[in-house]
Amino acid sequence: MSHKYRIMVIDDEPIVGKRLNLVFKKMGYDVLVYTSGKKALEALDTEPFDVVVTDLKMDIDGFEVFEKAKRKNPRAKVIIITGYADAHNARRALQEGVFDFIPKPFRLDDLKNAVLRAIENIKNEDKTS
């Protein structure tokens, strides 16, 4: 693997970030975790990420994270995890191009599979460009 994929995790629950940090590092990814959406947005200004896993409801809205991540890196894949998984938010996520929308509490395997699909998607885009 010539490129080490970078994952940003944003969740205001520290235990979620801590757990996902361990899981994604074990999978071989470079991971940065934020418990503040505002700090994560600042990091997006200076650092590129391939996959962004963000909570929907924090000090800022997860859709705001999605928009900035895509502006900074149009190839970035954004996965929203949320305890507020209503039909309106799910429909909005799909319409706006969020890669995946996963309700909390989520199964770890579901999130791992979403990240693997996102990375595979990026690899396929790289092959065709």
Q: Domain containing 39 — which CATH number?
A: 3.40.50.2300
Range of the domain at 74: 6-128
Q: For residue 57, give the 3-state DSSP assignment.
A: strand
Long-range contacts of 83-90 (CB under 8 A, 24+ apart): 83/56, 83/57, 84/56, 84/57, 89/56
Residue 2 clears pLDDT 60, i.e. is over it: no
Tell me what the mean pLDDT of segment 58-72 comes to.
Answer: 94
Tell me what the mean pLDDT of segment 30-39 comes to.
Answer: 96
Return the residue matching tokens 């409801």: 57
- Pairing between β-strand 6-10 and β-strand 100-103 as defined by DSSP bridges: unpaired
Return the residue matching tokens 């361990």: 22
Q: How far is CA 100 from the centre of its chain?
A: 9
Task: Report the mean per-residue pLDDT for the chain.
Answer: 94
Please give the tally of structural domains in the chain.
1
- Pairing between β-strand 51-55 and β-strand 30-34 as defined by DSSP bridges: unpaired
CA–CA separation, 102 and 99 (whole Å): 10
In a domain, 1, yes or no: no
